[in-house]
Amino acid sequence: MKTIAIYGRSFDPKDKLYIQTILSQIENYNGKICVYEDFYKLIKNDFKINNFIGTFKNKSEIKDSIDYFISIGGDGTLLDTITLVENSNIPIMGVNVGKLGFLSSTSAEDVNLAIDSLFKQNYIISERTLLSIKKIENSKMPEINYALNDITISKKDSNAMINIHAYVDDVFLNSYWADGLIVATPTGSTAYSLSCSGPILTPNSSSFIINAIAPHNLSVRPIIIPDNSKIKLVLEGSSQLSNLTLDSKTYTIKNSSKIYIEKEKFKIKLVNMHENDFFQVIRDKLMWGSDIRN
């Protein structure tokens, strides 16, 4: 008997059918269900949950017996789920009821088949590398120091650029005069970095991307480095503060900070159906092949 944890941030009545399908399918397989506390408060009056074993609020309340996490929402919702799963090795299935959905690759229309595949173990696991801030000098360490998509430094003062000196394995790379700098994983290559003209990496690529945000020097381009590299970022700027963002969590740091970034020791496991390969996701989400000549 499998135990499924369900996480969501909001509830739109238009998604009621999909959520009911998820709950019904789990119940059909006699699976146990626990629900994130805040999400349960939103849905409890609309659904009767059989085999319900309770709620959870944070990662310390996650039971060892949980077999799978289901994230209901968009990519931002799935990124929140990671802070609950962390290094537990619990596989996550993202059901996309949001907009684009690179991470939440299971469409809402396919939830019936997806839950069926989950219990029949007819799926593939995609292991995703994370970034980690190992140390910050002159500023406080973030409460959550890892990121699945990217770690970003950006200006806090809209009227002034910042200068970020980047080092890779203690070798000087470049001084970036820009609105900011993105360090992205292969997973994050289709997130903020992509909107800043960064390359797309396949999820299993053993690489990171360093990509400037609106650089003042037009010759600056993204660079791909091995994911076993140690990155050091040294900040300067006319203003005193900058933003440090790890996925969707933003912190304020001093412009005299030194930030040390490496690959996180643990990985995140994402559940994908067999037919939902990465290149298909890219074609569908970015509408490749929509040229009438194809």
Nearest-angstrom CA–CA distance, 117 and 264? 30
User: Which ranges in the chain are annotated with CATH 2.60.200.30?
Assistant: 131-263
From the list 75, 80, 110, 179, the catalytic residue is 75
Spatial neighbors of 257 by CB under 8 A, at least 6 apart, are 136, 137, 138, 139, 234, 235, 242
pLDDT for 27 equals: 94
Are the CB atoms for 87 and 112 separated by under 8 Å?
no
pLDDT for 211 equals: 98
Which amino acid makes up residue 240? Q
User: Which ranges in the chain are annotated with CATH 3.40.50.10330?
Assistant: 3-128+267-286
Query: Percent helix, strand, coil in the chain (nearest 5)?
Result: 20, 40, 40
Q: What are the phi and psi torsion angles at 41 (to 5°)?
A: -60, -30
Query: Rounded to two decimals, what is the model's pTM?
Result: 0.93
pLDDT for 63 equals: 65
CATH architecture for the domain at 131-263: Sandwich (2.60)
Nearest-angstrom CA–CA distance, 191 and 203? 13
Tell me the residue ranges of DSSP E strands in the chain: 3-8, 32-36, 52-56, 68-73, 92-96, 106-107, 123-128, 131-137, 146-147, 150-155, 162-168, 171-178, 180-184, 207-213, 223-226, 231-237, 241-246, 249-254, 258-263, 268-273
pLDDT for 20 equals: 94
Which ranges of the chain have pLDDT less than 50?
none
Q: State yes or no: is 75 an active-site residue.
A: yes
Nearest-angstrom CA–CA distance, 166 and 271? 35
pLDDT for 78 equals: 94
pLDDT for 276 equals: 62
Q: Could you give the angle at the alpha carbon of 230 between the alpha carbons of 225 and 231, nearest 5°?
A: 80
Q: Does domain 3-128+267-286 have CATH number 3.30.2350.10?
A: no
**Per the structure block, which two tokens stand in for 280?**
């298909």
